[in-house]
Every structure is written in structure tokens, then in C-alpha cells.
Amino acid sequence: MTRMPIMNKPQPTTVDDAPFISRTLARAFDDDPMMRWFFPDSGTREAGLTRYFTTLLTRQYAQHGLCEHTGAAAAFWVPPEGQEKAVPDAVTIQQLQEILGDRAPLFRDAVEAAAGHTPQEPHWYLAVIGADPAARGQGHGAALLRAGLARADAAGLPVYLESSKPSNVPLYEHFGFAVRAELQLPGGGPALWAMRREPHRPAGA
């Protein structure tokens, strides 16, 4: 019997979707060099990542961003008007510190290092995107990426992201992103690529 593919049409994400979304992203980022740097214990990494993404979704991006998912992937975007509000508040920071434990200072330093490369002009920010490894190659991440890029193009705005996985850099380049800086995370951490995509004009425009 042929297995039916999981639906990859983007759907709005709310805080009620947190259990599914956080587990999906935990699996997606299990092999990510930066997340392995923050969660070095393989035995507790999935649980830690699940709590981490639950906090980001419920306290930050679902409140001030645009979050979407498919049956096997999720993406958190922040439009220009939400970026000042999307900065973690004191409660969010406390929760992240508890989740990260003794790696919290490394996380703080990484966030500060990346912030120095954020565009100053209005832009869309792709904060998180990931697909369950079991469904990779089925177009889930690409569907979410295209949906967000279409919104930015319609507004005539650039898009910014940081890639923490070297194998994803060519993928983003395929969608029009260019590397603007390669950072070495403080404390001996892995590399991080700051990438930007200029707005594309619709065909025939």
C-alpha cells in the first residue's frame, strides 16, 4: 500500500499547537550544530529542545510574529511591525535560562553576536524554520519558506535569517538569499551565517 504524503500546505499556528510544533522542531534541530552546542547531552537534548521551542512559540513568536506549520514542519516569522515587541521579556528570559541551565550565558552571547548583523531598515525576519527529518524531501520546509517570502515580496521588503547549519546555506541561496557575514559564536561555538534576501518583483511586474 502506498503511504499518503503528509499535507504540506501552510496553516496558521497558535499556542494551542505548541505540543505538536515543539516536538516537530525538536526533531528538526536535533542535528543542528548550534542546538547541539546549547544542548550537548544527547540523552536530554530532545526534551530540552521541546521545552525551548514551546517557550519561543507561546511567549514570543505566537504573540508578536506570524507562525505557520504543515503536517511535518513549522516556521516562525516576524514582520517589521512586530520586531520591537518580539524581544524576549523578563519572564521569557527566565524560562530560557532554566531550560538552558549552565549553557544560558553561551546562548546570551550568541544572541548578542547575531544581533549586530540585523538589518536596520524594515524587513521580515525568519526566526525559525524546520522540518521533521522523517518528512524531509516532501516540500514542507519549501512550502513554508515560499509563503513567507511571498509576503515580504508583496510588501517590497527584504528578508533576514541566521543559518546555523552549513548544509542549509545552499538551500537558502537557491531561494535568493546571500551570505552577508559568517560569525563564529563566542566561547568556541559553531559558525553562524547571516543571510539576506532582497525583495523580488512578481513576474510581469
Question: For residue 133, is it within any domain?
Answer: yes
DSSP 151-176: HHHHHT--EEEEE--GGGHHHHHHTT
Angstrom CA distances, 169 to 86, 90, 154, 191, 193, stand at: 25, 33, 24, 12, 8
Question: For residue 3, is it within any domain?
Answer: no
Question: For residue 204, is it within any domain?
Answer: no
Domain total in the chain? 1
Output the pLDDT for position 2: 46
Question: For residue 138, is it within any domain?
Answer: yes
pLDDT one-digit tens code per residue, 153-198: 999 999 999 999 999 999 999 999 999 999 999 889 999 999 999 9
Domain limits at 82?
11-197
The label of the residue with cell 535560562 reads 97
Question: For residue 205, is it within any domain?
Answer: no
Output the pLDDT for position 76: 98
Question: For residue 190, is it within any domain?
Answer: yes
Question: For residue 5, is it within any domain?
Answer: no
Phi, psi for residue 92 in degrees, rounded to 5: -60, -45
Question: For residue 115, is it within any domain?
Answer: yes
Question: The CATH number of the domain where 87 resides is what?
Answer: 3.40.630.30
pLDDT one-digit tens code per residue, 113-149: 998 899 999 999 999 999 999 998 899 999 999 999 9
pLDDT at 60 over 60: yes
